[in-house]
Amino acid sequence: MQTSLIRKIIFDEKSRSLLVQTLVIGLFAVFIYLIVQQTAYNLEKRGISSGFDFLNMSAGYDISIRLIPFTSEDTHLRAYFVGLLNTLLIAICGCFLATILGFLVGIIRLSTNWLFRNIAYVYVEFTRNVPVLLQIILYYSILLHLPKTKQAIPIFENFFLSNRGLFSPSPIFKDGFSIVAWSFVLAIVFTFFLKKSLKKKQEVSGKQYPIFLINSAIIIFTPIFVYYIMGRPLDFELPVLKGFNFKGGMVIKPEFIGMLLGLSIYTAAFISETVRSGIISVSKGQREASQALGLKSNLVMRLIVIPQALRVIIPPLTSQYLNLTKNSSLGIAIGYADLVHGFGGISLNQTGRAIEIMLMVMLTYLTISLTISVFMNIYNKSVQFKGNA
Amino acid sequence: MSTEQVIQLDKVNKWYDDFHVLKDIDLIVEKGQKIVICGPSGSGKSTMIRCINRLEAHQNGTIIVHGTELTNDLKNIDIIRKNVGMVFQQFNLFPHLSVIDNISLAPIWVKKMPKGEAEEVAMAYLEKVKIPEQAQKFPGQLSGGQQQRVAIARSLAMNPDIMLFDEPTSALDPEMIKEVLDVMIQLAEEGMTMLVVTHEMGFAKTVADQMIFMDEGRIVEQAKPEDFFNNPKSDRTKLFLSQILNH
Ligand SMILES: Nc1ncnc2c1ncn2[C@@H]1O[C@H](COP(=O)(O)OP(=O)(O)OP(=O)(O)O)[C@@H](O)[C@H]1O
Ligand SMILES: [Mg+2]
């Protein structure tokens, strides 16, 4: 009786896998417990204090690139947030640019134009086979070798590129600008409903509307219109060369531009391969069937090829976003003030709380990565096929 | 009764690089005719019917469908594709769309039909191929025979005058072949003009007005089914028939 119960637990498929999983988790918990205990003991013995009280102490260093105000009197915790925002800034801008560039290059690689196709090919093979760190340093060095501010290269009249970064006009918001901003938001909401109702209309009448064009026009022109009605409540402070430096405006630092170029050009090469293989993965038969039905080539792309290609593109695209985000920690090499550079570097050196700080930084990256994964997974589910096709 | 010529091929030639795949093809199809094409693998059967709706371009000779000549002119190609339906060996259903969306897609986007109306049309053709209950499923959830019947319904929904079939039952298990052939026989009885590449000789005997045998890029023999099966003229046809009928 007893042996048969044990037999049942060990040889039953379900209870057996449950047993194994419980054992593994249990062993892992014991392992972690032992490590934490030992570390705490070691730290105590050597008189090293631990804990997170340092977060409220004054940081004592400056951060040159910041989205929120920061001085050396501010706390380490604030330094953490400054770094976090910089990491998010480079990750978001990088993913955005890499996606656009990657899709473009991926489509060009399938073009029938020999020259374009091969330029894209060389670009991909070069950038994805050279370590991204070297590329970041290369772009940064090129930026540092631009002319001095006095001889800055003007771009579109009000932008100036120099070895200290890109000097650009800074916006000054006056009374009533919030109304312009709201009109922009409302325009987006409105187009969302308009899209729905036009689709309904198409379903009823069969007439096709250039929905994308109409909506783009609404989103672009509504705020411009409101802007003029409100008496142009937005000014730009232009950068003006005074002596050896620019006064007014704002400057986009070469560290940021270097990181952005390095990360997005590198990642775009991988994304373009993903996009190319996604489009190729849609079988020739799919295009032929659509053509035989009389669909024009732009509709074949939009209704048949792209929706099916996305299914293949999304999972590797997600991992490219994750790579880019994690690679942004390379900012430390050229002094881009991301999370690792300031909080994970200088704060760590000053306080000596390596374990606490690394834990915080790692958990932060983990959270960012998991957030990206969750959203991409939701999107991915929506583009998968039903059944075993 | 005067007969209307709906497809005319005159001295059509085609090459893949150096490979001469279609050699001086002459073919006339009259309205309502059913033509069955057979021949060994690689003889150019698929290539020939794919030239008729310009999935392949010919290099030499003329192809005229409903009085419209096939050239590089995209307008002409559009006109012809709207009138010519095609069914493929591999079905080529759109796996990301439900059955009903597969069928109503072209009426909506090509004919600019209201969605409700297009779905009614789609349902009518699903009834015709006898699987209305599968409307909401996805292609990956259907058997091969059901998929091919959806593919036929999808083509018919554009209301073509001519249907091209390229080995529509070759990818099917034996027990599903009949359900697809039955639909095709019904279509033939309704008077559709059909060009069918197939090795189903029973089907050919039932519906064909004309049999065509192709070999090495040429039409070797063209005859009425009685003559074709009983007194084939060319030795190659005889050999081919003996192989295919004995196996
Ligand atoms: N895209 C292509 N490029 C080069 N050669 C091709 C191409 N498509 C077909 N061919 C060749 O043209 C010849 C005719 O092909 P086709 O598909 O028309 O033959 P088929 O009679 O339909 O044969 P099957 O019964 O196997 O379907 C074959 O030898 C094939 O290898
Ligand atoms: Mg073939």
Residue A289: which of B84, B88, B108 has the nearest Cβ?
A: B88
For residues A315 and A19, give the distance between their C-alpha atoms in angstroms, rounded to a whole number. Answer: 32
Is-contact A303 A295, C-beta < 8 A? Answer: yes
Q: How far is the CA of B237 from the centre of ligand 2 (A)?
A: 18
- Could you tell me how many residues make up chain B? 247
Q: Does A281 touch chain B (CB under 8 A)?
A: no
- For residues A367, A368, A374 and A376, what is the CA-based torsion angle, rounded to 10 degrees? -170
Provide the shortest C-alpha distance from residue A279 to chain B (in Å).
Answer: 15
**Average per-residue pLDDT in chain A?**
88
Where would I find the H helices in chain A?
Answer: 2-11, 13-45, 76-108, 114-128, 132-144, 177-205, 211-229, 254-281, 284-292, 297-299, 306-327, 348-351, 354-383
For residue B2, the model assigns a pLDDT of 59
Q: How far is the CA of B167 from the centre of ligand 1 (A)?
A: 13
- Please name the residues in contact with A149: beta carbons below 8 A apart, sequence gap of 6 or more: A160, A162, A163, A164, A167, A241, A244, A245, A246
User: Dihedrals φ, ψ of B92, to 5°?
Assistant: 55, 40
CATH value of A76-145+253-383 in 3.30.1370.100, 1.10.3720.10, 1.10.760.10, 1.10.287.3510: 1.10.3720.10
Q: Which residues on A lie below 8 Å from B96 (Cβ)?
A: 307-308, 311, 383, 385
Contacts 24+ apart (CB under 8 A), A374-382: A376/A314, A376/A315, A376/A317, A376/A318, A376/A321, A377/A318, A379/A314, A380/A311, A380/A314, A380/A315, A380/A318
- Could you tell me how many residues make up chain A? 389
Please determine, for residue B180, whether its predicted confidence score (pLDDT) is greater than 90: yes
Give the amino acid at B1: M
Cα B233 → chain centroid: 26
> A125, exposed or middle or buried, with CB in 10 Å at 0-12, 13-18, 19+?
exposed
Q: Mutation test of ligand 1: which of B46, B88, B169, B236 has the most ligand atoms closer than 8 Å to its C-beta? A: B46
Q: Whose CA is nearest to atom 13 of ligand 1?
A: B42
- Tens-place pLDDT, residues A65-100: 888 888 888 999 999 999 999 999 999 999 999 999
Task: Output A209 or A56, whichever has higher pLDDT.
Answer: A56
Percentage above 90 pLDDT, chain B? 91
Element (H or E) spanning A250, and its range? strand A250-252
Provide the shortest C-alpha distance from residue A249 to chain B (in Å).
Answer: 50
Q: Which residues on A lie below 8 Å from B84 (Cβ)?
A: 292
Q: Does A201 touch chain B (CB under 8 A)?
A: no
Reference A178, options A129, A215, A226, A133; nearest CA is: A226
Element (H or E) spanning A236, and its range? strand A234-237
Measured from CB, residues less than 6 Å from any atom of ligand 1 are B 16, 19, 21, 39, 41-47
> B241, exposed or middle or buried, with CB in 10 Å at 0-12, 13-18, 19+?
middle
- Tens-place pLDDT, residues B3-29: 789 999 999 999 999 999 999 999 999
Task: Output A48 or B67, whichever has higher pLDDT.
Answer: B67
Reference A205, options B231, B27, B112; nearest CA is: B112
Provide the shortest C-alpha distance from residue B100 to chain A (in Å).
Answer: 14
Is-contact B66 B75, C-beta < 8 A? Answer: no
* B30's tokens: 């009259």
A286–B92 CB contact, under 8 Å: yes
* A88's tokens: 């998010």
Which ligand 1 atom lies nearest to the CA of residue B48? 18
* A306's tokens: 């792209």
* A66's tokens: 């910041």
> A7, exposed or middle or buried, with CB in 10 Å at 0-12, 13-18, 19+?
exposed
- Tens-place pLDDT, residues A210-258: 777 888 888 888 888 888 888 888 788 888 888 778 887 788 899 999 9
- Tens-place pLDDT, residues B91-113: 999 999 999 999 999 999 999 99
The CA R_g of chain B, rounded to the nearest whole Å, is 18
Here the ipTM equals 0.93
- Tens-place pLDDT, residues A121-180: 999 999 999 999 999 999 999 999 988 888 888 888 788 888 888 888 888 888 888 888
For residue A2, the model assigns a pLDDT of 66
Cα B1 → chain centroid: 26
Residue B95: which of A205, A208, A308 has the nearest Cβ?
A: A308
The full set of domain ranges for chain A reads: 76-145+253-383
Q: Whose CA is nearest to atom 10 of ligand 1?
A: B16
Is-contact A259 A336, C-beta < 8 A? Answer: yes
pLDDT tier for residue A387 given thresholds of 50, 70 and 90 = low
- Tens-place pLDDT, residues A334-375: 999 899 998 988 888 888 888 889 999 999 999 999 999 898
